[in-house]
Each structure stands twice: as C-alpha cells, then as structure tokens.
C-alpha cells in the first residue's frame, strides 16, 4: 500500500513532523466499506484561488484574493453539494446574518500578536483604525497535487504588521492542507507552522483564535434576538423578530457539554450538528495531542462561529493560568487540526474513531 510522507521542518526547534498518510484507510473507522473519492486540485493564479473537487464535485476553494485580510477556504461543501459555510460577505445569501464581516469560510489567525489584531481585520475597519490590525498575505503555492486519494496543497503566507511606513513581516507561515473524502464525508487536515522572522513575536491570551469556520444559517442555534440579515438581493435588512425555521444547530463536545455550554470549555473535539434540506449534517473540529495547551479551549458561539483556540486560556476560564508564548527570531510554533464535514448525525463513537485515526497518523 502506498504511503505519502509530508515533512514540515520547525525552524529553530530542530524537529520535523513526519505525517504518514495511508490512502484508503483514513476514513474507514467512521464509514466502513466506503470508497475513497478522487480529489483534484486546480490552480488558478489569475483568479487567486485553488479549486478542490472530490469525484468532480466542488469540495472547497482556497482563496487568496488581495481584498481579503487573510487566505480562506470558501465555500465549503458537504457531500451532495450542500454548503455549510456562510456566504456573507463574499457571496451573500438571503436570510443570513451580516455581522462580523471578518468571519469568512474557514481561516486561521489570532487576535493578539505583538499587540496587533489579526482576527478582526476586514474591509469594515475604518482606515484611521487600521494601524491596530495585522493581515496575512499569501505568497506562494509550493505544492498542489494529488497523491493516491489525498489532495495536498502546500502554501506560504506572511503575517504582516499594519500597512504603515513600519510595515514588516512578523511571521512566515508554512501550511499544508490534506483533502480527502467519501460519498458521505469530507475531511480537511491543516498542518500549520509559524516562524518568527524579524525578531521577537509574542502571542498573548486572547479569545479570538485560531482555526475557525463561520457556518451557514442552518447550523446556528435558534434565537429570538432582533438582528440584521440579508434580503433576497443581498442587502442588509433589519429583522425585529427572527424566523427560526430550518435553524437547528447544536454543539456537543468530547466531554458531553452541549449547546451554549460548549463555549470556552477544554475539549478534544467539538461537533456542530444541524439539519439542512431535511437531511442531518455534522461539522467536527479536532485538536491534536501534539498541539500546545491540548486539549484546547473552544470559541463556539451560538450564531455559527466555531473555532479551536490553543492559545486562549484564562480569557475563557478564570481558573486557568493567563497564557503567553514568545517566539524569538528563527523559532517556530506548529499546530495540527482536522475538520470533518459529514452527511449524517455522527455519533460520539464515530467521532472518537476519526479522532483516534488522526492521532495515529
């Protein structure tokens, strides 16, 4: 059986991650007997994107448009073509919330890096406020290919201080995405290495982080709050009384905490389940034992923001110690996470099987 080795050198820490991918074996614990689909990647530099398909059907797109404040995966589709990410602000859909324009698809960043906010930056930030915000710029596609039934996308990005005369690169990011799937399940592994390149970089305890997804309206928890949504033309519209029809989202984590109680808790994984178009779907994010502060805290909001945050601690739970980590020039910090999007209501047992598989790779 062919093996795929993905190596990431952690500069300054003198260590290497060796991830051994065994095609055809990674998803079987959850869906016994299912065939692994064929993943293909299409690079389109002119449109600043890499399109990912599974058996010819859209899976997701890596987008690095210059108008975005960080590269994202958008949209993300479940088996059968059901979109699980919110369309706003890139492709607004009717009856969507228009809050938090920095929540786009799937992304990775943090709210306090040398005092700069990389999380909340978006087109909505006024020019005279931009000096407080950082941005992540795509630099290079190092690899975009399929090996066996695994799609591999390897990219370089730069974490930049604000666009002023003092603009400088704080971090170099080297990230590898692994894309896989079957007829009922999609899987994305993100292997992230951040290296300080121009001096000391400090990450301070902050709830805004790190690997996140902003979900479609169906995955939100029902609410009675008056809010602003998009109308049929994609324009903002005040809605004093919400229509919760089709809104069925509900969190559950590895410790059994459910609904709003999943926010801020330490957990190995968190699931967000919902019904869309009459079918159940599950989104699950996994932390990895190799990550700092495992098991991490979770920024799991009822309005559909869902993220794993390995660097936020006391900000979530006053009983935890306030966290800070400093990288000196040449030192690195690395993370491994997995996101699963499945058709069906994944049981705890199925989720645990996928998690064990993730740990064993």
Q: What is the structure's pLDDT at 34?
A: 84
What letter would DSSP give residue 262? G
Residue 196 near residue 207 (C-beta atoms within 8 A): no
Rounded to whole angstroms, how far apart are CA atoms 322 and 312?
8
**Which whole-number Å values give the CA distances from 195 to 11, 299, 328, 341, 354, in the listed order?**
7, 24, 9, 30, 29
Give the chain's mean pLDDT: 89
Q: What is the CA radius of gyration of the chain?
A: 19
pLDDT digits (tens, 9 = 90+) for 32-57: 678 899 999 999 999 999 999 999 99
Percent of all residues in the chain with a pLDDT value above 90, rounded to a whole number: 77
Buried b (16+ CB within 10 A) or exposed e, 84-115: bbbbbbbebeebbbbebbbbbbbbbbbbbbbe
Cβ count within 10 A of residue 222: 14
pLDDT (mean) for 176-196: 97
pLDDT digits (tens, 9 = 90+) for 95-129: 888 888 999 999 999 999 999 999 999 998 999 99
Q: What is the structure's pLDDT at 32?
A: 63
> Tokens for 122?
């978006």
The angle formed by the CA atoms of residues 311, 317 and 322, to the nearest 5 degrees, is: 50
pLDDT digits (tens, 9 = 90+) for 229-267: 555 555 565 555 566 888 999 999 999 999 999 999 999
> What H or E segment, with its residue span, contains residue 230?
strand 227-230
What burial class does residue 318 get, using C-beta atoms within 10 Å of its C-beta: 0-12 exposed, 13-18 middle, 19+ buried?
exposed
Which CATH number belongs to the domain containing residue 137 in this structure? 2.70.98
pLDDT digits (tens, 9 = 90+) for 268-284: 999 999 999 999 999 99
148: left (phi over 0), alpha (psi -120 to 50) or beta: left
Q: What is the structure's pLDDT at 10?
A: 41
> What H or E segment, with its residue span, contains residue 353?
helix 348-360
Buried b (16+ CB within 10 A) or exposed e, 253-288: bbeebeeeebbbbbbbbbbbbbbbeeeebbbbbbbb
CA 354 and chain centroid, separation = 17
Rounded to whole angstroms, how far apart are CA atoms 181 and 350?
15
Rounded to whole angstroms, how far apart are CA atoms 311 and 334?
12
Residue 322: domain span: 4-360
Q: Is the pLDDT of residue 317 over 70?
A: yes
Read off the pLDDT band of 69 (50, 70, 90).
very high
Residue 308 near residue 263 (C-beta atoms within 8 A): no
pLDDT digits (tens, 9 = 90+) for 322-356: 999 999 999 999 999 999 999 999 999 999 999 99
Q: What is the structure's pLDDT at 244?
A: 80
**Which whole-number Å values give the CA distances from 2 to 103, 108, 320, in the listed order?**
38, 31, 44
First to last CA, the chain: 15
Rounded to whole angstroms, how far apart are CA atoms 38 and 40?
7
The number of domains in the chain is 1
| Helices and strands counted in the chain (H then E) | 1, 22
> Tokens for 57?
């059907």
Residue 161 near residue 168 (C-beta atoms within 8 A): yes
């Amino acid at each position: 059986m062919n093996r795929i080795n993905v190596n990431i050198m952690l500069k300054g820490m003198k260590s290497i991650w060796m991830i051994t991918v065994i095609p055809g074996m990674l998803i079987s614990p959850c869906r016994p007997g299912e065939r692994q689909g064929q993943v293909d990647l299409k690079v389109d530099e002119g449109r600043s994107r890499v399109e990912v398909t599974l058996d010819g059907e859209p899976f997701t797109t890596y987008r690095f448009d210059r108008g975005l404040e960080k590269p994202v995966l958008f949209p993300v589709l479940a088996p059968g073509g059901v979109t699980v990410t919110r369309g706003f602000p890139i492709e607004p859909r009717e009856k969507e919330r228009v809050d938090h324009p920095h929540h786009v698809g799937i992304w990775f960043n943090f709210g306090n890096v040398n005092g700069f906010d990389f999380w909340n930056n978006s087109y909505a930030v006024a020019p005279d406020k931009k000096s407080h915000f950082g941005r992540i710029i795509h630099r290079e596609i190092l690899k975009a290919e399929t090996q066996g039934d695994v799609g591999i996308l390897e990219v370089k990005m730069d974490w930049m201080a604000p666009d002023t005369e003092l603009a400088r690169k704080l971090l170099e990011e080297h990230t590898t995405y692994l894309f896989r799937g079957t007829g009922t399940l999609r899987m994305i592994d993100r292997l992230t290495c951040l290296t300080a390149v121009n001096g000391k970089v400090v990450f301070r305890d902050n709830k805004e982080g790190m690997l996140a997804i902003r979900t479609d309206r169906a995955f939100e928890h029902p609410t009675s709050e008056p809010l602003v949504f998009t109308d049929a033309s994609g324009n903002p519209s005040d809605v004093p009384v919400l229509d919760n029809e089709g809104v069925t989202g509900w969190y559950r984590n590895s410790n059994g905490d459910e609904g709003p109680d999943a926010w801020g808790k330490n957990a190995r994984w968190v699931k967000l389940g919902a019904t869309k178009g009459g079918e159940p779907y599950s989104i699950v994010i996994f932390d990895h034992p190799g990550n700092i502060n495992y098991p991490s805290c979770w920024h799991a909001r009822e309005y559909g923001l869902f993220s794993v945050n390995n660097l936020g601690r006391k900000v979530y739970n006053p009983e935890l110690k306030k966290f800070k980590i400093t990288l000196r020039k040449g030192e690195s910090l690395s993370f491994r996470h997995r996101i699963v999007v499945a058709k069906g209501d994944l049981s705890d047992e199925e989720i645990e099987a996928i998690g064990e598989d993730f740990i064993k790779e």
